[in-house]
Structure 1
Amino acid sequence: MMPEQAGEFRGFILDDFQKEAINHLLQGSSVLVSAPTGVGKTLIADYLIEEAVKEQRRVVYTAPIKALSNQKFKEFKEWHGAEKIGIITGDVVIQPDAEIIIMTTEIFRNILHQEQERLAGFSHVIFDEIHYLSDEERGTVWEESIIFMPDNLRLLGLSATIPNASELAAWIQEIKGHPVKVVYKQDRVVPLEHYVYHPLTGPASFGHLKKVWQKQKKREAEHGSPPGGARTRNGPDHKELVKAIRRRNGLPALYFIFSRQQCEVKAQELSERFDFLTKDEKERVQEILDRAAKQYNLEKWPTLHRLQPVFLRGIAFHHAGLLPALKEIVETLFGENLIRVMYATETFAVGINYPVRSVCFDAPTKWDGVTFRPMTTLEYFQMAGRAGRRGIDEKGFVYILANLDRYRLEEFPSTNPDDVEELTSRFNLSYNSILNLFHNYKRGEILVILNRNFATYQARNNRVSLENRLDRLAAELEKTRSVICQDWGSLSCPQMRAVALRQLRRKERRLRYIRGKKARRAISAEVRELKESLAKLAERDCSPAEQARCEKRAKTYEKLYKERLSLEEQMRNLQVAGRFEADLEAKAAILEDLNYLDADEKLLPRGLFAMQIYAQELLITELYFAGFFHEWDEDQINAVIVAVDYEPRKGERLPRQLPFEYKPIRKIIRDLIFRHGVGEGEIRFFPSLSPLAYEWSRGCDFFTLTRNAPELQEGDIVSGFRRGIDLLRQIRAACLEEDPPMAAKIKNCMEKMDRDLVQVNL
């Protein structure tokens, strides 16, 4: 049934943009939906999936993070039945041949490289959060997925509001050869109001706070008192902001802090001052906690006992370092409106649909893994968009805690949606991508593929734009020059003549005081030449008004000329075709040196193995072919694998004792970097989890394990173990055909790791 006939779906009245997107999909086009957070983009995907189930077509649903994949898996099972839904996330594989398959975008990219025939019979792929294409670290995965997906497959991309969605759609249409429609939704159903909070003003507009702050700073400079007196000496406080929001009837609130530790600290601080729940609500919280404790065998878990008083006051926190079972408890409480204030890191904003009345930011800057930097406008709206519940709130409210003693005014994000940054390509070539390219394509085809990426498309558009601008500039320069006086710049021009006379007087004054013979001769010659030049040309008779007009035109000409020089420099530096050929050549040479490729660019055994490993492919392959996986026992393999691709948090140290010999691994890493030229940042191995993985593999229970490593967060331990399971699954697939006994050994390793609290509960 067409949406304009249906009018509603699952009890929701379809908005015009939803109907438009669905119509385009049903007519066979791919569709990009660019819309603010919280307006119902996912309803379009849900409609498409329901239609596919009715017509027995197959659909792939990709999500940027495993948590969102898991959430969608549970939702779709409820709606369509467990037998119709499957999930593949690397560490979890359930019903991979089902009609609707949910997977991370990385898994979809891997299937395109390795087993594209598995996509036969699929009609659509849904990319949730497709604006991740601009993510510096992972964006290339989205781009590769679009480039390599079969041309007959149609795409539904769901994106936050981005200004160049049309450019992205035009690129996809060009490389896939079918229509790609863009559907925009500019306005939110529940509008947002944006505030900053400071004790000087309470919740206020940024402009108002700026004026008040500047007055206070001026007063401080004059009288030596701190702005606002003692009350503001330590800056604004999160508890005061929550108090102000509560007075304004702004709860529930989602409070973003870009620090795990501060999420926990602030939740504890708030619980010591506020209690938001009624007696009946507290009883419901206790029921949920008791049920979860029994379900996951957490009755003696100290963390749950420590947090129970916080939960019973309607306060919680959520970040990646939490045990998955605790995340589920928090999300259940939040979903039942039993949490009034949730302190969370940015991961809570990705796709998981828990709207609130108010969103708060503890600071205008965020940690990006390298340094603190101002939030982008896109990041701000992605999180701020959680404010305002459709059908409940008339408005959503967004607050930034404004510590102006610590942050500069220019570090605060724009609250204007028109300032959202454009998507830019992050395409790059990994060793795995290169091996798969050489395995699946000939050299000439590879060069064509490398010119099909979004980066090249954007560069080509930029060149066309620059050429058009240069053409317009040339016309403007010619027009401007034609109306400038022909004597402009010569000594006949009154303006130039006045400048020359001033120079002459300065030189004559200098001549009076110079005593050196050579210097006097040089200045005398300059004075004589200038006088002769002035005598040769008569001054043009121009009125002051004419001179002013002429000067204005000349300044315009000079400005245009400088712009032309700048654009010509950009044109010279802009590379369109062949942008990635040098990188391909350099990495192919390293692969040949490592015996992954032969001289004819055919894959050797090492290359055939590495093309099936999607993280740290060179390190894992070298360890495997050096025989270590055969030498190590199963528990040692598990200890090593959790160290591969592990990125330590600040302050993490190497354990004093490891359950394997570290020296041979370090030698392989050094050889890859210093002998073969692999980038130092491309090899990642840090064994802080290795002793824990070894004990876990040998049957240790989780709470005993965590007591021995209080410096590591429980969620990090679980995610590290699950990442290890993902890598083991890849290694098993890579060696299954050539070495079945090793594949069986790796399977045993996985089973030892994938148990109890580490096992995903779906």
Structure 2
Amino acid sequence: MRDIPQDRYIRGRTHHRTAKTKAPSHTDLIRDIQDKLPCFFFVFSRQKCQDYAAELAQKNIFPYNQEITAFVREKLATAPQEINSLKSTQLMRQVLPYGIAFHHAGLLPVIKDTVEELFGKGLIHVLYTTETFAVGINMPAKAVCFDSLRKFDGITFRYLNSKEYFQIAGRAGRRGIDNAGYAYVMVDRRDFNYGLYRNITEKDVDPILSQFRLSVNTVLNLIKRHTQEEIDEILCKSFYTYQKYGRRFDKVAKHLFAYKFEAAKKKLIKMGYIANDRLTDKGEFGSHIYSDEILTSELFATSFYGHLNEYQIMLLVAAICYEFREKTEFYHQQPSKALSQLKHALKNHHTLEKEKRFRSLDDLTSLVHPCFYGKNVLEIVKNTNLLEGDIIRFFRQMLDRFGQVRNATRDLRLVEICRSCEQVIQNCLKDIDTV
């Protein structure tokens, strides 16, 4: 933790000089730890990753490296021109020659691959990245820096727990190269809580907690594959039950998951997924869907989709996959008769009319319409402020959902529609997947 000098003053209403503490600077921290590079600098914001990389490059701390320039030029030589014209690509090409990079899920795969290869070659001094880099990529560094110990978890801002901290900090120290790894946290003394920071960073004390959830898919497959006696035993022997009741877990007559299972089963019986302790056709369909089971089944395991065309079905799947964000903008929406008919059908359905995700249908035409009519993803990125990597992820999620529906249905017409839509999306992504 770096001490921040109190060298600025402001005048208060009483005209007394009041010390003003400066916020910590990531560039100052990098200057101070140049003997402990390379480092991962974890920032819980994609935009700040890019901003920090640009700011550090302007400080001229590291020399220009022609080897990096040549590597990047060769790596992107066969890439479509649209990739090189993207703002994120242009910024990356500006900072990379100085051994500075950024990495997050919003980047194109070829750009992320380039950064990872350069880091593996030992040519990157500082890599600004989000926490997704701490999971699944085995690339340690000598030091790990934290922009903050607070992050947005999709609902609210909160502090990391000790497990999350050590998961990330554990990247510090290269086996066989470094005798020690170093972790640095930027602390703003204006809201510094020493006890809280010590609890997070001193020792991994948070217990492992069961993440077992009784999803609709789980309930349907338990009923499909097991007797009631077997179901009771499976739920009783879950890690969650052991954590809650300890060594007496198998002696508890009625545990929490048994009640939850019964409640979920009653709801599914009422909705027509289960009858006489067996799955109905709709229940069988739902047992092959792994998220949004009810919504997907109501759309594609009933007669609802029967009068819809491929474009309308693509819009429905897009609405299921899209994750609404307040600041996302869409341009060039494509109103049409097909869209109006689809919205009318949803409005008149007793269950689907309440689904909030269908409120984004108008916006999603900015992505789905050009995709359906043959545009590639590098042209579609102009229709939204979503990052290019997020758009690719969105279309790949659509591919996954179409695959689930295709495997779940017995309707040959729907199977062919799914295959056709999958081909449309694959054509849209082909320039990315072939780079």
The TM-score, its normalising length taken from structure 1, stands at 0.51
Deviation at 1:274, TM superposition (A): 2.5
Aligned residue among 125, 132, 147 for 1:347: 132
Deviation at 1:454, TM superposition (A): 0.5
In structure 1, the residue matched to 2:291 is 615
Aligned residue among 49, 67, 80 for 1:297: 80
CA 1:345/1:446 → structure 2, altered by over 3 Å: closer, same or farther? same
CA 1:276/1:576 → structure 2, altered by over 3 Å: closer, same or farther? farther
Structure 1 CA distance for aligned equivalents of residues 61 and 298 of structure 2: 57
For 1:719, what is the secondary structure of its paired residue?
helix
Aligned residue among 383, 391, 394 for 1:720: 394
Aligned residue among 443, 448, 452 for 2:237: 452
Deviation at 1:666, TM superposition (A): 5.4
Structure 2 CA distance for aligned equivalents of residues 673 and 706 of structure 1: 30
Look up the equivalent residue of 1:582 and give its one-letter code: Y
Alignment check: 8 A CA contact 1:367 1:373 kept: yes
Larger radius of gyration: 1
For 2:263, what is the secondary structure of its paired residue?
helix
Look up the equivalent residue of 2:49 and give its one-letter code: C
Alignment check: 8 A CA contact 2:318 2:398 kept: yes
Does residue 266 of the first structure (1) align with residue 49 of the second (2)?
no
* CA shift digits 1:328-351 (9 cap, x unpaired): 122122222222111111000003
* CA shift digits 1:604-654 (9 cap, x unpaired): 111111111111111111111444544333333223212214322342368
Look up the equivalent residue of 2:67 and give its one-letter code: R
Matches within 5 A, 1:215-234: 225-227=17-19, 233-234=21-22
Deviation at 1:425, TM superposition (A): 1.2
Structure 2 CA distance for aligned equivalents of residues 336 and 386 of structure 1: 17
Structure 2 CA distance for aligned equivalents of residues 239 and 740 of structure 1: 60
Aligned residue among 213, 227, 233 for 1:442: 227
Alignment check: 8 A CA contact 1:377 1:413 kept: no
Aligned residue among 597, 604, 612 for 2:274: 597
Does residue 287 of the first structure (1) align with residue 70 of the second (2)?
yes
Alignment check: 8 A CA contact 2:105 2:389 kept: yes
Greater RCO (CA < 8 Å, at least 6 residues apart): 2
For 2:98, what is the secondary structure of its paired residue?
coil
Matches within 5 A, 1:301-312: 301-303=85-87, 304-312=89-97
Structure 2 CA distance for aligned equivalents of residues 759 and 628 of structure 1: 34
CA 1:265/1:449 → structure 2, altered by over 3 Å: closer, same or farther? same
Aligned residue among 345, 364, 369 for 1:664: 345
Which moved further from structure 2: 314-323 or 407-416? 407-416
**Which blocks of at least 5 consecutive residues in structure 1 are unaligned?**
1-195, 202-215, 465-573, 675-679
Structure 2 CA distance for aligned equivalents of residues 422 and 758 of structure 1: 45
**Which blocks of at least 5 consecutive residues in structure 2 are unaligned?**
none
Look up the equivalent residue of 1:703 and give its one-letter code: L
Alignment check: 8 A CA contact 1:639 1:692 kept: no
Which moved further from structure 2: 390-399 or 574-583? 574-583
For 1:438, what is the secondary structure of its paired residue?
helix
CA 1:261/1:251 → structure 2, altered by over 3 Å: closer, same or farther? same
Deviation at 1:442, TM superposition (A): 1.8
For 1:391, what is the secondary structure of its paired residue?
coil
Matches within 5 A, 1:232-247: 233-246=21-34
Structure 2 CA distance for aligned equivalents of residues 295 and 620 of structure 1: 40
Alignment check: 8 A CA contact 1:613 1:734 kept: yes
Deviation at 1:743, TM superposition (A): 1.0
Structure 2 CA distance for aligned equivalents of residues 629 and 328 of structure 1: 40
In structure 1, the residue matched to 2:407 is 733
CA 1:452/1:731 → structure 2, altered by over 3 Å: closer, same or farther? same
Structure 1 CA distance for aligned equivalents of residues 304 and 106 of structure 2: 31
* CA shift digits 1:567-602 (9 cap, x unpaired): xxxxxxx9774211222222222211221111x121
Alignment check: 8 A CA contact 2:68 2:97 kept: yes
Look up the equivalent residue of 2:256 and give its one-letter code: R
Matches within 5 A, 1:698-717: 698-709=373-384, 711-717=385-391
Aligned residue among 420, 426, 448 for 2:211: 426
Deviation at 1:421, TM superposition (A): 1.0
* CA shift digits 1:475-518 (9 cap, x unpaired): xxxxxxxxxxxxxxxxxxxxxxxxxxxxxxxxxxxxxxxxxxxx
Structure 1 CA distance for aligned equivalents of residues 18 and 117 of structure 2: 45
Structure 2 CA distance for aligned equivalents of residues 276 and 630 of structure 1: 62
CA 1:263/1:300 → structure 2, altered by over 3 Å: closer, same or farther? closer
Root mean square deviation of aligned Cα: 3.0
Structure 1 CA distance for aligned equivalents of residues 78 and 54 of structure 2: 26
Structure 1 CA distance for aligned equivalents of residues 391 and 370 of structure 2: 12
Look up the equivalent residue of 2:424 and give its one-letter code: K
In structure 1, the residue matched to 2:148 is 363
* CA shift digits 1:410-431 (9 cap, x unpaired): 4425366644311111222111
Aligned residue among 250, 257, 263 for 1:580: 257
Alignment check: 8 A CA contact 1:613 1:731 kept: yes
In structure 2, the residue matched to 1:751 is 423
* CA shift digits 1:511-565 (9 cap, x unpaired): xxxxxxxxxxxxxxxxxxxxxxxxxxxxxxxxxxxxxxxxxxxxxxxxxxxxxxx
Deviation at 1:657, TM superposition (A): 5.0
Look up the equivalent residue of 2:274 and give its one-letter code: L
In structure 1, the residue matched to 2:318 is 642
Deviation at 1:444, TM superposition (A): 2.3
Deviation at 1:265, TM superposition (A): 1.1
Look up the equivalent residue of 2:351 and give its one-letter code: D
CA 1:351/1:290 → structure 2, altered by over 3 Å: closer, same or farther? same
Matches within 5 A, 1:30-41: none
Structure 1 CA distance for aligned equivalents of residues 417 and 323 of structure 2: 26
In structure 2, the residue matched to 1:250 is 36
The TM-score, its normalising length taken from structure 2, stands at 0.87
CA 1:713/1:411 → structure 2, altered by over 3 Å: closer, same or farther? farther
Structure 1 CA distance for aligned equivalents of residues 326 and 253 of structure 2: 40
Structure 2 CA distance for aligned equivalents of residues 747 and 413 of structure 1: 54
CA 1:667/1:728 → structure 2, altered by over 3 Å: closer, same or farther? same
Structure 1 CA distance for aligned equivalents of residues 215 and 22 of structure 2: 48
In percent, how many aligned pairs have the same letter?
32
* CA shift digits 1:42-81 (9 cap, x unpaired): xxxxxxxxxxxxxxxxxxxxxxxxxxxxxxxxxxxxxxxx
Alignment check: 8 A CA contact 1:640 1:690 kept: no
Structure 2 CA distance for aligned equivalents of residues 625 and 415 of structure 1: 48
Structure 2 CA distance for aligned equivalents of residues 392 and 607 of structure 1: 55
